[in-house]
Amino acid sequence: MDRDKFLDIGCANPLVYEELYDKWRRDPQSVEASWRSYFNSLDQQPSQSTSPPPILEKEVSVVFQPRKEAAAGPPDVRVYNLIQAYRQFGHLMANVNPIALHPPQEPRELQLETYGLSKQDLSRPFPTFGLLKEPMAPLLKIINDLKSIYCNKIGVEYIETHSLELESWLQRQIEPTHFKAPLTIEQKQMILQQLNKSELLESFLHTKYVGQKRFSIEGGETLIPMLSSLLDTAANFGAEEFVIGMAHRGRLNVLSNIMNKSYVDIFTEFDESYIPESIEGSGDVKYHKGYNAEVETASKKKVKIDLSPNPSHLEAVDPVVEGMVRAKQTILNDEESHKKVVPILIHGDAAIAGQGVVYETLQMYKLEGYSTGGTIHIVINNQIGFTTLPKDSRSTLYDTDIAKGFSCPVFHVNAEDPDGCVYVTNLAVEMRQKFHCDVFIDLCCYRKYGHNESDEPAFTQPIEYQLIRKKKPIRDLYRDELIQQGVLEKYMAEALETEFKNALNVALKSIKTFETKEPKEEKEPVHKFNGKPTGVAKEEIEEVATRFCTIPEGFHIHPKLEHFVIEHLAMVQEPKPIDWGMAETLAYATLLIEGTPVRISGQDSCRGTFSHRHAVWMDQIQEKTYFPLKHLSETQARFDIYNSPLSEYAVLGFEYGYSTSYPESLVIWEAQFGDFSNGAQVVIDQFVSPSEQKWGQRSGLVMFLPHGYEGQGPEHSSARIERYLSLCGHDNMQVVNPTTPAQFFHLLRRQMVEKILKPLIVFTPKGLLRHPACVSNLNEFVQGSFKEILDDPKDPKNIKKVVLCSGRIYYDLDAMRTKNNAKDLAIVRIEELYPLHTEQLKEILEKYEGYKECIWVQEEPSNMGAWEYMRPLLREILPKGKEARYIGRHRSASTAVGSHALHKKESAAIMHELFQPYELRIPENQSGIKS
Ligand SMILES: Cc1ncc(C[n+]2csc(CCOP(=O)(O)OP(=O)(O)O)c2C)c(N)n1
């Protein structure tokens, strides 16, 4: 088989194939298995061959050669290398920057000399290697064609996507057409209409609401026809829904001109007296709010669009959008084909280059548990971030260079070429629907005003802004071009503008006015949950346990795991005390049987960091997985559990987004240790805790945060209870520190049975997972519900001291009490810290009438844990004049000491302080406490 043959079957790199083919002929074992079968099939039936497998770079030598080698070899090969170089580096010479001061220089990669060619060669004929229709052409023609394709107003980076199929497909789209948009007259008129709308809306707001922040899109208004075309093309390729994540820039324009939010509503929000009606809470500024709409595309298809609300924190919305999309795909059964729901992320150039969460989000894009089948990224590359220039904000050539790390194709396009922008958008969408990759469009534009409209950009960029101020709006340029091309009559263009301006004026007259009202007094919530029973019939518990403890026939289970499974089944069959892991699995199993889907993700969550979960079993011979919770019944709900990438920020954002779009599902994110959850602090602070109050966006997300002072040092002890408590208010979430397996079981079930759409923060145990005292009886699972406060189970009498605590320290305190025979001491556990059930606590305290002292005991330092949160609350709860005493670690900058010995001393000191009036006896081996 020769090179022409490879050209015939559409191979983009015939030399590469030829080389591999030769290798295979000489020794079939010298090439990859996929290539062996491909060449076999080619030899047998060349005309019916399927697409070739991807080429791994290490396999071949004739990909683009570094400079020295590029100049070696016969002239044909060198010309081939030059053609490949244009495909790979042509973007470096593309004219994509509308405010460039100089035309781009020819890079070394595209110079004749690099390939050992010279001007004399320009008139000589060379093979065109499939670039042109004619097999041979003068070098000059080859180069001119390459320039016209790759160095015009669109630059493209698509070589090295590691998908030869994608590369060949794109090449077939762009090379024969010279990368020119095949747009109809109607499409061009539509583009103008959208440019009209986007630019005129901004200039209208500019004159009517002088100096008000709106983060104008001007300079990049081509975004609007691009988005409109994106929806249309995607719908034609099977998309039904879109979720958009975007920051401030251009958001109002997207709301009105893409999502059809009425101009009246938009203007109303500019009114100084505007107070939102629909959101109970405190709302947010207009360029952060979300919106839902159903719109009709140009091809008259109805599509849904969800614009996610977002905080100021740039790019934080990215993983949230991906999670929302994945949830919608799950609901629509679109997880395999990924065609129906499409994520769109719109970035700023400084933000995409600077924010690490972009990387974390991209890292998830092909992972089984997180993939959404490809995202369309559009960067509004106005070449500035507030006042900072690209040279100071990134080390890479392009703002989009992160795409290279993930082998994603990138289009760089000049915003002053609306046809080109729309064309690449359509290509990007088609690619996403066909190849399920992320695709980036770098919309090279400028920013007409300062960072916001009242900002003076010339303070910092005087020359750039001299240039920008002289620029004609893109709309005017395009309109004049269409008139010149005869696509549009001048009078029609003017009529369209007048019509649109009139519509804006009419809308302005209809805006609502608001009387300034006193802000509503925000009350702390009274306790909300109504204590619905969450127990499950004994027979059902036995039934599900039998199912998830059944080892399938022929499955080679690890012997230790087999023992674990047998032990767990015995807990319900005999019954024996039930431990934490079993309680957790029972909660999931019973919910699944009742029809509630469960999704869990976190680092090493399938097995469980502390080996307590074992939600996945691995066949020890075949390395096949088995998920026992997927085998409960034919009619059970779906159970998904994933080991996440090593990220907190993006993964928590993803699960948060998922939970908002799939409220019927129990969605759990687990930190490896609670300490690491602060890697996701932006998601916690900006989404999990305030989203309902700011945006009316509700989530029932559950966060598992392993917490406990067990001598493992400063980074494996504290999930920062105090931080979560400081975020509580306005009944926004539940912060819970449960201490028994049954409590945990009821808590998880309560979340779904009571349909609580409030985030649930759970401090989960580590050492307690195997603590002999931390067990519950089967009966406790059959009856009852979660108890916010656990009174002393020993029902002590004649109490002198009431000890209040939360979490695992209870077990140390109880053991010490027994050892010291401290009968006049009651231990009360606050299981739910927020919302605090103050009435229940009061009642319990009243029961211990006559007690002398109330003491808060905790293992955390005094500035951490729950003490500083509880202290003022206890002042209100305790009888007048009574103040709770604190016993715990001293105020500290670091969460915990590094030395295990020191940890034990500190723990002993806590016990000593509480128990010193008794004849002090400290039990051996009791969580590090020794006399
Ligand atoms: C995480 C984060 N850090 C800082 C800021 C403050 N800030 C707001 S806009 C902005 C510049 C953004 O530049 P770019 O991404 O290029 O978008 P543009 O405003 O130019 O559209 C900065 C630094 C922020 N909003 N979010």
Please give the radius of gyration of the chain, using alpha carbons only, rounded to the nearest integer: 33
Nearest CA to ligand 1 atom 7: 386
Residue 289 CA to ligand 1 center (angstroms) comes to 17
- Strand ranges, E, within 603-685: 617-618, 625-626, 639-643, 666-670
Least confident of 207-216, 444-453, 684-693: 207-216
- Which atom of ligand 1 is the closest one to the Cα of 314? 26
Nearest CA to ligand 1 atom 20: 385
Q: Of 569, 567, 576, 579, which is closest to residue 544 (Cα–Cα)?
A: 569
User: Any residues with CB less than 8 A from the CB of 446 and at least 6 apart, and which?
Assistant: 98, 99, 219, 220, 382, 383, 415, 464, 468, 471
Q: How far is CA 883 from the centre of its chain?
A: 45
With a 6 Å cutoff on the Cβ, whether 774 touches ligand 1 is no
Task: Tell me what pLDDT residue 527 has.
Answer: 56
Task: Tell me what pLDDT residue 38 has.
Answer: 61
Residue 380 CA to ligand 1 center (angstroms) comes to 12
With a 6 Å cutoff on the Cβ, whether 350 touches ligand 1 is yes
Residue 819 and residue 870 in contact, taking contact as beta carbons nearer than 8 Å: no
- Rounded to the nearest 5 degrees, what angle is found at the Cα of 218, between the Cα atoms of 212 and 220? 140
pLDDT digits (tens, 9 = 90+) for 619-672: 999 999 999 999 999 999 999 999 999 999 999 999 999 999 999 999 999 999
pLDDT bracket for residue 453 (50, 70, 90)? confident
- Which atom of ligand 1 is the closest one to the Cα of 399? 16
Cα 587 to Cα 764: distance, rounded to the nearest angstrom: 15
Nearest CA to ligand 1 atom 17: 348
- Rounded to the nearest 5 degrees, what angle is found at the Cα of 788, between the Cα atoms of 783 and 793? 65
What is the torsional sign of CA 577, 579, 585, 590?
positive
For the chain, the distance separating the N- and C-terminal CA atoms, rounded to the nearest angstrom, is 85
Residue 215 CA to ligand 1 center (angstroms) comes to 11
b/e 877-914 (16+ beta carbons within 10 angstroms → b): bbeeeeebeebbbeeeeebbbeeeeebbebbbebbbeb
Q: What number of H helices and E strands is found in the chain?
A: 33, 24
Length of the chain: 931
> Average pLDDT of 875-891?
94
With a 6 Å cutoff on the Cβ, whether 349 touches ligand 1 is yes
Q: Which residue has the tokens 């591999």?
A: 20
Residue 288 CA to ligand 1 center (angstroms) comes to 13
With a 6 Å cutoff on the Cβ, whether 384 touches ligand 1 is yes
> Average pLDDT of 12-29?
66
User: Any residues with CB less than 8 A from the CB of 89 and at least 6 apart, and which?
Assistant: 107, 109, 110
> Mutation test of ligand 1: which of 246, 312, 314 has the most ligand atoms closer than 8 Å to its C-beta?
314
- Which atom of ligand 1 is the closest one to the Cα of 682? 1
Structure tokens at 594: 């009742």
> Average pLDDT of 542-549?
98
Structure tokens at 515: 């009387």
Residue 99 CA to ligand 1 center (angstroms) comes to 21
Q: Which residue has the tokens 């299981």?
A: 831
Residue 71 and residue 47 in contact, taking contact as beta carbons nearer than 8 Å: no
> Average pLDDT of 109-118?
96
Residue 748 CA to ligand 1 center (angstroms) comes to 39
pLDDT at residue 854 is higher than 90: yes
Task: Tell me what pLDDT residue 18 has.
Answer: 66
- Rounded to the nearest 5 degrees, what angle is found at the Cα of 337, between the Cα atoms of 187 and 296? 30
Structure tokens at 836: 């605090």
pLDDT at residue 12 is higher than 50: no
With a 6 Å cutoff on the Cβ, whether 313 touches ligand 1 is yes
Task: Tell me what pLDDT residue 71 has.
Answer: 82
Q: Which residue has the tokens 């026992």?
A: 628
pLDDT at residue 530 is higher than 70: no
Alpha-helical runs (H) found in 27-71: 33-44, 67-70
With a 6 Å cutoff on the Cβ, whether 380 touches ligand 1 is yes
Element (H, E) at 684: none
Q: How many CA atoms lie within 13 A of 376 on its CB side?
A: 29
Residue 568 bridge partners (DSSP): none
Task: Tell me what pLDDT residue 209 has.
Answer: 83
Task: Tell me what pLDDT residue 101 has.
Answer: 87
- Which atom of ligand 1 is the closest one to the Cα of 380? 21
Residue 379 CA to ligand 1 center (angstroms) comes to 13
Percent of the chain topping pLDDT 90: 78
Task: Tell me what pLDDT residue 55 has.
Answer: 45
Cα 675 to Cα 719: distance, rounded to the nearest angstrom: 5
pLDDT at residue 732 is higher than 70: yes
pLDDT at residue 519 is higher than 70: no
Cα 480 to Cα 793: distance, rounded to the nearest angstrom: 83
Task: Tell me what pLDDT residue 812 has.
Answer: 97
- Which atom of ligand 1 is the closest one to the Cα of 313? 26
With a 6 Å cutoff on the Cβ, whether 311 touches ligand 1 is no
Residue 245 CA to ligand 1 center (angstroms) comes to 15
With a 6 Å cutoff on the Cβ, whether 288 touches ligand 1 is no
Q: How many CB atoms lie within 10 A of CB 518?
A: 5
Residue 517 CA to ligand 1 center (angstroms) comes to 33
Residue 403 CA to ligand 1 center (angstroms) comes to 20
Q: Of 825, 823, 889, 894, which is closest to residue 854 (Cα–Cα)?
A: 825
Residue 736 bridge partners (DSSP): 762, 832
pLDDT digits (tens, 9 = 90+) for 793-821: 998 889 999 999 999 999 999 999 999 99
Phi, psi of 84 (to 5 degrees): -60, -35
Residue 244 bridge partners (DSSP): 307, 344
- Which atom of ligand 1 is the closest one to the Cα of 315? 1
Nearest CA to ligand 1 atom 13: 385
Least confident of 38-52, 93-107, 129-143: 38-52
pLDDT at residue 113 is higher than 80: yes
Residue 398 CA to ligand 1 center (angstroms) comes to 17
Structure tokens at 727: 């975020």
Q: In degrees to the nearest 10, what's the CA dihedral of 902, 903, 908, 913? A: 90
With a 6 Å cutoff on the Cβ, whether 249 touches ligand 1 is yes
pLDDT digits (tens, 9 = 90+) for 907-931: 999 999 999 876 555 554 444 333 2
Nearest CA to ligand 1 atom 9: 386
Task: Tell me what pLDDT residue 199 has.
Answer: 93
Q: Which residue has the tokens 């307590």?
A: 612
With a 6 Å cutoff on the Cβ, whether 457 touches ligand 1 is no
Q: Please state whether beta strands 376-381 and 439-444 pair in parallel, antiparallel, or not at all (unpaired).
A: parallel
Enter the DSSP assignment of 456. -
Nearest CA to ligand 1 atom 26: 313
What is the three-state SS of 532-556? CCCCCCHHHHHHHHHHHCCCCCCCC
10 Å CB burial of residue 193 (0-12, 13-18, 19+) is middle
Structure tokens at 548: 């998830």
Cα 781 to Cα 779: distance, rounded to the nearest angstrom: 5
Mean pLDDT of the chain: 91
- Which atom of ligand 1 is the closest one to the Cα of 249? 21
Structure tokens at 497: 């503008």
pLDDT digits (tens, 9 = 90+) for 247-263: 999 999 999 999 999 99
Least confident of 160-164, 277-281, 414-418, 753-757: 277-281
Structure tokens at 845: 């305290």
Q: How far is CA 850 from the centre of its chain?
A: 54
Cα–Cα distances in Å, from 464 out to 93, 98, 203, 390? 21, 11, 21, 13
With a 6 Å cutoff on the Cβ, whether 250 touches ligand 1 is no
Cα 732 to Cα 834: distance, rounded to the nearest angstrom: 9
User: Any residues with CB less than 8 A from the CB of 128 and at least 6 apart, and which?
Assistant: 83, 134, 135, 136, 137, 142
Task: Tell me what pLDDT residue 72 has.
Answer: 82
486: left (phi over 0), alpha (psi -120 to 50) or beta: left
User: Any residues with CB less than 8 A from the CB of 634 and at least 6 apart, and which?
Assistant: none
- Strand ranges, E, within 611-754: 617-618, 625-626, 639-643, 666-670, 702-706, 734-736
Cα–Cα distances in Å, from 91 out to 79, 153, 408, 446? 19, 9, 15, 19
pLDDT digits (tens, 9 = 90+) for 340-384: 999 999 999 999 999 999 999 999 999 999 999 999 999 999 999
pLDDT at residue 699 is higher than 60: yes
Q: Please state whether beta strands 885-889 and 853-861 pair in parallel, antiparallel, or not at all (unpaired).
A: parallel
> Average pLDDT of 883-907?
96
Task: Tell me what pLDDT residue 509 has.
Answer: 85
> Mutation test of ligand 1: which of 216, 223, 386, 468 has the most ligand atoms closer than 8 Å to its C-beta?
386
At 674 the three-state DSSP class reads helix
pLDDT bracket for residue 51 (50, 70, 90)? low
- Which atom of ligand 1 is the closest one to the Cα of 393? 16
Q: In degrees to the nearest 10, what's the CA dihedral of 239, 174, 413, 199? A: -60
pLDDT at residue 326 is higher than 60: yes
- Which atom of ligand 1 is the closest one to the Cα of 385? 13
